[in-house]
Amino acid sequence: MAKEELSYFKRFIFSKSIIFTVRIIVALVFLYSGSVKILNLYQFGEIINNYHILPSFLIIPFASLITTSEIILGIMFLLGVYEKETAVLLILLNIVFIFAMASAIIRGIDTSCGCFSQNGEVVGIKDIVRDIVFIMLILLVLMGRKYGKNDS
């Protein structure tokens, strides 16, 4: 790719409108995910329990922490409040999800992801890839803070 084409691509990807759109989409995904889970907290707790990672007495507190975090971080990202810190926490949350899903896959545990609904398919590589894409989108927003000086 020629330097001029790369420069245009960089200006486009890091334009304020692209960064804003990505931030809104990511925020809404986390808001939706947390809301669905918090409305069915005990079902979500059962899904967490199926991963066989936490002791049973921590399941509901952890389910509450995850759902509340998704909602609060989603709202903060949506509003652009503490955007850098919120982005880092969203990335860490996704890393936790990735490790849990990878652990279930490696150990041969057939359980629902528990990502967006209670009746999902068995967790698989596609779920891990999706969370990696979320991390990349969040990183795009973070990088857009540095490079996104224009709007094209």
Residues 6+ apart with CB under 8 A from 144: 14, 16, 18, 19, 22
Chain centroid to Cα 57, Å, comes to 25
Break the chain into its structural domains and give their ranges. 8-147
Instruction: Name the phi and psi angles at 122, rounded to 5.
Output: -60, 140
Per-residue pLDDT of the chain (152 residues; tens, 9 = 90+): 566 665 776 777 778 889 999 999 999 999 999 999 999 999 999 999 999 999 999 999 999 999 999 999 999 999 999 999 999 999 999 999 999 999 999 999 988 888 876 666 789 999 999 999 999 999 999 988 776 554 44
Three-state DSSP state, 112: strand
d(CA 33, CA 132) in angstroms, rounded, equals 16
